[in-house]
Structure 1
């Protein structure tokens, strides 16, 4: 099932999510639906609030970063991301470390807007998978960044919160337009303030 993506301005994107219990949901089905929704929107990550669910779940599939076109340099493809496809249930970032680095981020809930965000290069995270197995793992580079971006959604934070004041003022009207549904997106969206 492909869910509509919740657009910027919906209160659920600003609400901290809750932990879920083991048998509360069909986690395999939810995971499959989230991956299908994410792929249909050409994303590399999707958090539950983005489909209107206030729970601590997100999915990532960074394989597009590992693929390269014939025109790309060898360096542009990050082969460490070739198998980076996971569902994170009840995740908790335990530690972030390393030098902060900038990358131009975007978000399916905020189409058409991108901006440089600085994040620490490495993190340690504890989470469960759809079988309810618990893991504690370390990630760095682009994998860490994708996790940090999706994890922020579970805290009610968005990448635009990290942008400089001047950039925020510059995109203010665009954000208002998105919340009203005045935006072009190649995927189905749910708008909070559409008249």
Structure 2
């Protein structure tokens, strides 16, 4: 039997993984794509735990790589449900890397994945509501509402804006761009 509401803690997921040379890029740092893959996995686990259903990634909001992750560091990812809609959930993910030799921990990334719960036929299904217990959880939920509103406005603005090149030539002058229009 599925609950109508769940606490944030009920679907909280933490994973840790040692970063190996096989995870590195040509610069000797851990490949960002590998970190994104791990983030998608933990977002899936958290959303599925909350919804009790199979979940798919609908969108990823801003991924900023704040600090590089080194080979040999222990990466820990923490995921929690920040927001729920009808069938969607915003999963907040924090990525930290620990130098296991000296214990130094650094914040490397934070991101927000929107996940949607699906039934076996691939149709979106309703997810449980969220019980908020403290100011931090309320703040995260409110921030998610604000981000969702801002995203809708941005999409709408792009839909109604005329991006024909003649209208924006003056803006291009302020940027590092060279125009060589074809005849």
Query: What TM-score range do you get, normalising by the shorter chain?
Result: under 0.3
Which structure would you say has the larger RCO, counting Cα contacts within 8 Å and 6 or more residues apart? 1
- TM-score, structure 1 normalization: 0.24
* TM-score, normalised relative to structure 2: 0.25
Query: Larger Cα Rg: Structure 1 or Structure 2?
Result: 2
